[in-house]
């Protein structure tokens, strides 16, 4: 990780807007150009890890949780940068051992997320990482899963928040760090 980076603003400028994907009316935020640029990826990983560091730079969380699937891509390097473990939050039926499950409303229908019961221990503090905070349904369900484990959420860190949607409200008093609001 020695090459000069593009700076955080330059990194975020690599996110591409794709109109009408995956369906008409949705402006999809495509992070793959950012992921493909080492310097940009390095910048955003450090920035997403920052809210989980104390004043001395040491981690103040025990785990990083990433939500399927772009939260895996961003969350695992954030965990490595912090020096803590990574835990995947997966869609229903993907995790092989005993899970907690939480269902939440989508615009049409319902989705379920799962977490291995033993992946977060009682009393631990975790950072949630994802690419986009939209309605907040995914993050809210993940907060509920963490609390089912007897642990607590230190904060949610996302690349981007869709400011015209009530994602933060869904999260109540859980702190949200976003690198960009659109």
DSSP strand pairing (99-105 vs 110-116):
antiparallel
Query: Up-side HSE of residue 178: CA atoms within 13 Å toward CB?
Result: 16
Nearer to ligand AMP, 43 or 131 (CB): 131
140 is catalytic: no
Catalytic residue among 3, 23, 98, 107: 107
70 is catalytic: yes
Quick one: which of 1, 9, 16, 27 contacts ligand AMP (CB under 6 A)?
27
> What is the footprint of ligand AMP within residues 161-180 (CB under 6 A)?
167
How far is residue 59's CA from residue 83's CA, in Å, rounded to a whole number?
7
DSSP strand pairing (27-30 vs 16-19):
antiparallel
Within 8 A by CB and 6+ apart from 106, the residues are: 137
Nearer to ligand AMP, 150 or 163 (CB): 163
Quick one: which of 14, 15, 40, 132 contacts ligand AMP (CB under 6 A)?
132
DSSP track, 21-33: -SSTT-EEEE-HH
How far is residue 117's CA from residue 100's CA, in Å, rounded to a whole number?
6
> What is the footprint of ligand AMP within residues 72-131 (CB under 6 A)?
130-131
Q: How far is the CB of 29 from ligand AMP (least distance, A)?
A: 4
Nearer to ligand AMP, 87 or 132 (CB): 132
DSSP-derived 3-state class of residue 109: coil
> What is the footprint of ligand AMP within residues 32-71 (CB under 6 A)?
67, 70
Contacting residues toward ligand AMP, per CB under 6 A: 26-29, 67, 70, 130-138, 167
């Amino acid at each position: 990780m020695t090459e000069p980076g593009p700076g955080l603003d330059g990194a975020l400028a690599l996110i591409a807007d794709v109109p009408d994907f995956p369906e008409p009316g949705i402006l999809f935020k495509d992070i793959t150009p950012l992921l493909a640029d080492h310097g940009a990826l390095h910048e955003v990983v450090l920035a997403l890890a920052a809210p989980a560091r104390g004043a001395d730079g040491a981690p103040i969380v025990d785990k990083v949780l990433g939500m399927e699937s772009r939260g895996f891509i961003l969350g695992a390097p954030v965990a490595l940068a912090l020096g803590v473990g990574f835990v995947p939050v997966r869609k229903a039926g993907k995790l092989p051992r005993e899970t907690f499950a939480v269902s939440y409303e989508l615009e049409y229908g319902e989705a379920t997320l799962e977490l291995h019961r033993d992946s977060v221990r009682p009393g631990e503090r975790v950072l949630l990482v994802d690419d986009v905070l939209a309605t907040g349904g995914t993050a809210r369900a993940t907060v509920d899963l963490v609390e089912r484990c007897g642990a607590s959420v230190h904060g949610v860190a996302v690349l981007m928040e869709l400011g015209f949607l009530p994602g933060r409200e869904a999260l109540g008093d859980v702190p949200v760090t976003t690198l960009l609001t659109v």
